[in-house]
Amino acid sequence: MATNRTFTMLKPDSIEKGNIGAILEKITTSGFRIVAMKMTQLSTANCEEFYAIHSERPFFGELITYMTRGAIVAAILEKENAVEDFRALIGATNPADAAEGTIRKLYADSMGENAVHGSDSNENAEIEGNFHFSGREQF
């Protein structure tokens, strides 16, 4: 099951710019089914835990400030080959390097404010989905 699911967040810049609808449209017309979704805001503690792998990186402080400054939309997506296909759909971390037509090319401004998150492995998709959606929900 995990091989067919990935986890995404529409980051605060996407919400601030009014891009929720356009990005979700792009996701669903690209063949992803939204299995679970919520609008929420990350606390500093939750955000630091979510991005713990980056805690030693020089941009960690900026990343936490960015990701906690406003609402996000968290969602679990389903599609065959979901993790890899979604990474292709969002494009490179730096929108300047992202391919034409990708979400980051269309909607992101910079490496620091890059519109969307997409899990980078099946294992992380499951961990990140569970982080945001408790086991109490059935989907």
Residue 99 main-chain phi, psi, to 5 deg: -65, 155
Applying CB under 6 A, which of residues 120, 121, 122, 131 lies at the interface with ligand GDP? Answer: 120
| Residue number with CB closer to ligand GDP (128 or 137) | 128
32, 25 Cβ separation under 8 angstroms: no
Distance between CA atoms of 6 and 35, rounded to whole angstroms?
A: 10
Catalytic residue (one of 11, 79, 117, 132): 117
Exposed/middle/buried for residue 41 (C-beta within 10 Å: 0-12, 13-18, 19+): middle
Quick one: which of 111, 122, 124, 131 contacts ligand GDP (CB under 6 A)? 111
Give the per-residue contact string, 7-36, with ligand GDP (x = CB under 6 A; - = no). Answer: ------------------------------
Closest CA to 92 of 76, 115, 71, 72: 115
* Piece of 27-35, 42-50, 54-62, 125-133 that binds ligand GDP (CB under 6 A): 54-62
Residue closer to ligand GDP (CB basis): 54 or 139: 54
Task: Assess 112 for contact with ligand GDP (CB under 6 A).
Answer: yes
Which of these, 131, 136, 129, lies nearest to 36 by C-alpha position?
129
In the complex, least distance from residue 117 CB atom to ligand GDP, rounded to whole angstroms: 6
Whether 117 sits among the annotated catalytic residues: the reply is yes
Contact indicator for 91, 99 with CB cutoff of 8 Å: yes
Q: Which residues are catalytic?
A: 117
Q: Contact positions toward ligand GDP, by CB under 6 A? A: 54, 59, 62-63, 93, 111-112, 114, 117, 120
